Structure 1
C-alpha cells in the first residue's frame, strides 16, 4: 500500500459543515498532503465527502471502532468506495477502549481476529486495511492480517519496536501530535489539555509504560518528559526533527494531528504552515 509520506489526522474533517470539510480536503490535496485520516471513531461513510472533493488524496478511517460496526456492512461499504474511488480508501480498524465501549468490551484481540475473519469471508481485501496496533500481539495481527499498522499516541521508540515486529514489508503509519507554538509553556498547556482524556484510557497508559515511562510520568496531566516525547512542540524545524526521527525509526508514513487551544476550529493556518514538510519528505 502506497499512501505517500505525510498525511493529516483530523476529527474535525468528519464533523461539522460538510461543505467546509470538503473545501478543506481539496486544499490539503493541493498543499501536497498524501492522505487524510478521519479520527474520532468514523464510519466508512464519513470518507465519502472528502473522496468526492479530491482526486488523488487517500482517505482513511483512523480509526473505525469495531464494536460499533458490523463487518459485513463495512465490507460492502468499503467495496463501494473502492469501486467509485479506486485505491483511495483505507479501512483503519481499532478495538477502542473499555471506558468508551462499556459492558460489551472484552478480549479485544480475539474480537479483532474475529472481525477480520468476517471481513475476509465477505471478500474485503486485507491489503486495503490497517490496524490501530500498539502492543506486540496486535502488531503481529497487523502484519499477518492487514496491510500494516496505524499506531496512535506513540513515540519514535515505539515506531522502532513496531518496525521490528512488522518486518520490512507492511505499512507503518504512526500518528504524530503537533503544537505549533514557540512558547514552550503555552505549547505544553495545549498538549496537556489534549492528553488528559487519553491518560484515563488503559490501552494507552499500558503502551506508554511499555515504552519506559513511569507511573509518575502518567500522573495528573503528564510530566514534561511525557509531553515532550509524544508531541512535537515548537516551530516547523521542531516538527521536522520529530518526523525525521519517526522515518529513521522505520515509519513509511506519518499523519500529523495539529493540536490547538480551539478544538472546534479546523487548523487551516497550521496545515498551511506545515505543508512544506509534505514536499520535503515526499
Structure 2
C-alpha cells in the first residue's frame, strides 16, 4: 500500500499531514503492557509499517510509555496516543515523556489528548476548562502545538483543536461529522477520524460483530449526545444501536463496499483515517491477517 507517507524530517518539524499519510491503524492490542506479548506486539508494529500504514494509534487511555516500544521497533511510522486522558497524567509529566520520545524519535510521536468520560473518571469536572488548562501546562513544558491533537467531537473542542493543537482525532463519527469538523477547523489543521471496519459480507454477522463492539460506547454520554447532534434519534442509540447507526459508524461488507466507506471520510475532508479492525477475536488482539487484507483493499 502506498499512502503518501513521507519520512519524518530529522528535526521533527514535518507536519502530520506530511508524515502520517492517508491511513493508519487504531488498536488497543498495540498498547499491551504484558511483557510476554511485547515481542509479538513489536513484530506486528513492524509489519504494519511494512504494509504502508502511516500511523499507529494506541487506544484505551494510552501514554508515551506505551508508544516508546513501538517507536523503537519501527523506523518511520508515526505513533500516537488515542487517547491519553487529561485526568490520567499531569501535564508536566506528559511533557517530560514527550520530550524523551521527541529526542529519541524526532517527528514520530504525537500526543493525542482527550477529556475521557464522566462515568470513567471519579473527579470529572469542567472538562473543557480543564483541557484548556492542560494545554497551558503543555505549553509550559515546551510540547509544540504541531505534535499534539485533540479527541474533539463538538464545535467548541474542534475550535480548540484548531487554535491550540495540530488538529483533531474524532472517535466514533460519521462522514457527515467529518465534513462539519473540516468546516470548523478550516483547511490547514490535521483531521484524522477513527473508523471501525468489519471484514464480513453477511449483513447479520457483520452487524452482530459491530454491535458487540459498539455496546460499551453507547453507555457514554459524550458519544450518544454527539449522535443526537448529528441527527440520530434516541431509538437509534438504544438496544445496541439501530442498523442505521451501525451502517453509519462502521465500514463493513466486501472489499469495494469497505473501500467506498473509507473513501467517504476522505471525501468529507479527512486527511487521514485511523482504521480499527473489528472481528470476533478479543478487543486487544493483533489481527494480522485482517490488517493485511485491509492494506490490500487500500492499495
| TM class, shorter-length | over 0.9
Residue number in structure 1 paired with 2:65 = 45
Alpha-carbon offset, residue 265 of structure 1: 2.5
CA contact (8 A) 1:10 1:257 kept: yes
Moved more, 81-90 or 262-271: 262-271
Q: Which of 158, 169, 186 pairs up with 1:139?
A: 158
Q: Which of 22, 41, 51 pairs up with 1:5?
A: 22
Unaligned runs of 5+ in 1: none
Aligned equivalents of 2:254, 2:190: Cα separation in 1: 28
Alignment RMSD: 0.9
Q: Which of 176, 197, 211 pairs up with 1:178?
A: 197
* Correspondences of 1:261-276 after superposition (within 5 Å): 261-263=280-282, 264-276=284-296
1:76-116 deviation per Cα after TM superposition (whole angstroms, max 9, x unaligned): 111110110010001000000000112x1011111110000
1:148 aligns with 2:171: no
Report the CA distance shift for 1:160/1:85 in structure 2 as closer, same or farther (over 3 A): same
Residue number in structure 2 paired with 1:93 = 113
Using the size of structure 1 for normalisation, the TM-score is 0.97
* Correspondences of 1:192-271 after superposition (within 5 Å): 192-263=211-282, 264-271=284-291
- Equivalent pairs, count: 278
1:168-222 deviation per Cα after TM superposition (whole angstroms, max 9, x unaligned): 0000000000000011100100100110110010000011101100000001101
Superposition misfits of 4+ residues, deviation over 3 angstroms:
none
Using the size of structure 2 for normalisation, the TM-score is 0.92
Residue number in structure 2 paired with 1:73 = 93
Unaligned runs of 5+ in 2: 1-14
Moved more, 91-100 or 255-264: 255-264
Alpha-carbon offset, residue 276 of structure 1: 2.5
CA contact (8 A) 1:5 1:278 kept: no
